[in-house]
Amino acid sequence: MTDHPASPCDLDAMGQAELVRTGQISPYELVEEAIARAERVNPELNAIIHERFDQARAEAAAMTELRGPFAGVPMVLKDLDGTAAGQPCHLGMRFLAERGYVAPADSELTARFRTAGLVMIGRTNTPELGLVTSTEPAVYGPTRNPWNPAHSTGGSSGGSAAAVAAGVVAVGHAGDGGGSIRIPASECGLVGLKPSRGRVTVGPELGEAWSGLVARLAVTRSVRDAAALLDAVHGPGTGDPYWAAPPDRPYSEEVGADAGRLRVGWVAELPGSNVSTDPEVAAATQAAATLLEELGHQIDEDHPRDLSDPSTTGHFLVAFGAWVARELDRIAELVGEEVPSEGVEPGTWLLAESGRAVTAAQFLAAIDGLHTATRRLVGWWDQYDLLLTPTIPELPPALGQFTSTAEEPLTGLFRSSPLATFTAPFNITGQPAISVPLEMSRSGLPIGVQLVAAPGREDLLIRVASQLEQARPWSGRRPPGWAG
C-alpha cells in the first residue's frame, strides 16, 4: 500500500524537525498528533506498554526555545536497553512489573535523546530481558505487526518497531545483542542500524552489556534519520572501558555521498548450515546484489566461511547463560530482593541456572573463543568493503511460536536461533550492520536485507544504504495498520 504524506507524522523525523524549526507546526501540536495516533492503533498493536502522554505534552509545551537537531520530534523508548528517570523499567519481566519498579535516573543515551530535542511519549514492549526474537512477553502479551497483526514484529525491539512502522512516531529507541535492532526493522519494513561496538555508550549503569555484544540506537523510517540520530548520540560516556574511533565527518554528510566502486560479497544461504532461506528472501537478497551491481559496485558471491561455525555457537551459549544469571542478580541488587523462579519465564530461569553452573574459567574460555571467532570473521573484510545477506532467513513468523513453558522451557530460544543466523555473528565481532527494507513478499510482509561493514565503518553503510533508498524508495509504503 502506498500513499503520500498528508500529515506531519507521516514524515520521517528529519522532516518533522524541519516543520518545527520553520514554525509550520509547534512541538506541542506534533506531539499531540503522535499521541492521538498511539491512542488510535495501540489497543490492537500493543506496542506502547507505559504511556507517558501527559509528561510529553508538558515537555513539548515548554519548548519555547528549540534546541537540538530533533527539537519537538516525538519518539518512543524501549522498556529495555536503558532507563528514563521516574519511568517504569520492567525489561519484560513479571517480577519487576508486579513490584512497579521505576528507574531513578536516565541512562546516558536517554539523556542524549533529550539533548537532541526528542520527546518521549512512552516505553515500548519487549521480550523478557531481550532473550528471544519475538516480542511476546508473558507479562504484557504480544506486540502485533502493523503489516499483519497475526505476525511477529521481531525482538527484542519489536514494540518500538511496531510504533514506527504504524506511523505513531518516526524514531523508536532500540538495542541489539544478537539482531534486536535489525530483526524488528526487517519484520516491520524499517531501517535498523546497529552501530560498531563502543560507538554508543551503554553507561552509566554498565561499561559493556553482554561482554560487548549489545549495541544501542534506534529503528527509523529513513537512512538520513539513522545517520542524524547517530550524529546526535555517539561517543563515549565518562569512564567507558573502550570506545570506537570518532568519524572523520558527521554521519549525515554520508547520506547521498559518492560511495565509489566498492567490492561487495553476498550470500543468501549459508553452505553447511541447517537453516534454510525462504525462496522469497533469497530472491530479495539476490535482487539487492543485482541492484548494487547496477549502482556501480563489484559484486561477488562470497562470504566469510566461519559464519556458521558451530564452535562459535557453543562459546556463545556458555556466555549467554552467564549473562542471564548476572542480569537476574543485578536486578535483585536494584530491587533489594532475590528474583524467584516464578518471577520470570521458564526459559529465562533455565538459562540463568545454566549460567550459575558455569565456572569463571569456563566463562573466560568462552569469551576467548568468541574473540578467536571475531579475528577469523573480520579478516574477510581485508578483501571486501561490504557483505550483503538476508537480515532474517524467513518471512516475519506468525505469533505464538516463541512461548516458553515449564514443559518446554527452551522453545523460544530454539525458535529464535535460526532468525539470528545472519545477525548474531556481527554482535560477536562488534561490526556495524544495517537492515534496509528493499522488498515486500507476495503476502504483503516486509523483507529486509543486511549490509555489514568493517569495524568502525558506519560511513560506508550509510552511503550505500542511502544509494539503495534512492534507487528503490520505500518511504511511500503504508501498512494496513497505519495510524494516519
User: ω into residue 204 within 30 of 0, thus cis?
Assistant: yes
The three cell numbers of residue 13 are: 523525523
Q: What angle separates helix 360-378 from helix 310-335, to the nearest 10 degrees?
A: 130
Work out the number of other CB atoms within 10 angstroms of the CB of residue 407.
7
Helix (H, G, I), strand (E, B) or coil at 17: helix
Give the 3-state DSSP-derived string for 144-185, with helices as H, strands as E and coil as C: CECCECCECCCCCCHHHHHHHHCCCCCEEEEEECCCCCHHHH
Write the DSSP symbol of residue 275: P
Which of 134, 152, 157, 180 is flagged as catalytic? 180
- Told to judge if 157 belongs to the known catalytic residues of this protein, a careful annotator would answer no
- Told to judge if 180 belongs to the known catalytic residues of this protein, a careful annotator would answer yes
Cell 543485482, residue?
A: 290
- Told to judge if 134 belongs to the known catalytic residues of this protein, a careful annotator would answer no
Which of 107, 156, 435, 466 is flagged as catalytic? 156
Q: Residue 62 contacts by C-beta under 8 Å, 6 or more apart in sequence?
A: none
The three cell numbers of residue 109 are: 543515551
Which of 78, 196, 404, 416 is flagged as catalytic? 78
Q: Residue 260 contacts by C-beta under 8 Å, 6 or more apart in sequence?
A: none
Helix (H, G, I), strand (E, B) or coil at 123: strand
Tell me how many degrees the CA angle 216-221-223 measures, rounded to the nearest 5.
75
Active site residue ranges: 78, 156, 180
